[in-house]
Amino acid sequence: MADAKTIPTSALNFTDEAFDIKRSDTYHLSILTDGKNHAFSILDTISNKYLVLRSCSELPDGHFKSVSCAIAHNKFTLVPAALFDEENKKSFLGFNHEIKDEEEIFVNTLHTIDAKNIFTVPKSLTADIRKRFPNAHFIHSSTAFLDGLLAQHKNNTGKRVFANFTSSIHPAGEKTESYFEIALLEGKELLFSNVFKYKTPEEIAYYVLFVYEQLDLNPDSVELILSGEIEKTAKEHTLLYTYIRNIRFAVRPEGFSYSYKFEEIPNHNFFSLFTQYLVTN
């Protein structure tokens, strides 16, 4: 099986035989980036099938029907829509994060929970993306994660905890920063959302248990669902089994079909890539 635990360290390059660049005006391009390295997928919006999945340092060329670009970092803030004021977006974000001059502030609307997600993207990245794809729509990876979850689980009942793992990667290949987003859903309601940096598996277990304790969740009955850059055999995952009884890995978003070539990578990888079309169209 291909190693898909990080975006760039594996040279993922899966292209279905049905892909035809001449039909790019019917395709949606989804990009997931940490600012230096990228993963992207291409969806045929006619057949609703994902045809391409790649990780690379360079983005594809072409004119696409629509383009979404999700930035993956932990510099974001969720604000209830009723409290949000466009003129004060910098103040909202600056309360928790340092905003640099070379960063541009964006705001996403999370339609399913009536909230705003405020975040930054390096101006150099937005300039590059806009030059290649003038119709690009910028979102945060947490927007794709949360809105994607709510769209996929809107008919479910009961409480579930979801954790989505992301790593920023140095060009040489080593991880420079790792974090995970964690969310508690009860049916179609988002009850809790936060993000935690970590360096060790023990820190992951500590933060997950902290969330369960603070929210008065029973680790013997409330399910934990994992997605993103975490391996099924990794210590990060196996240590959680010591404390949480019901753990499983996420599956790819429903409503799409996927090239048979994607079978080489685990279903729970790239959740915030495959959900982008759901939240931007």
C-alpha 123/C-alpha 102 separation (Å) is: 6
Query: Average pLDDT of 101-105?
Result: 95
Characterise 252 by phi-psi region: left (phi > 0), alpha (psi -120 to 50), beta (else): beta
C-alpha 222/C-alpha 218 separation (Å) is: 6
Query: Average pLDDT of 109-118?
Result: 89
One-letter identity of residue 253: P
Q: What is the pLDDT of residue 168?
A: 54
Q: What is the pLDDT of residue 259?
A: 97
Cβ atoms 262, 218 nearer than 8 A: no
178, pLDDT greater than 50: yes
Residues constituting the chain: 281
pLDDT in tens, 70-79: 999 888 999 9
Which range is least confidently modeled, 164-168, 188-192, 201-205, 246-250? Answer: 164-168
32, pLDDT greater than 70: yes
CATH code for residues 155-249: 3.30.420.260
Q: Which residues pair with 184 in a beta bridge?
A: 161, 192
Which of 166-170, 216-220, 238-242 ranks highest by mean pLDDT?
216-220
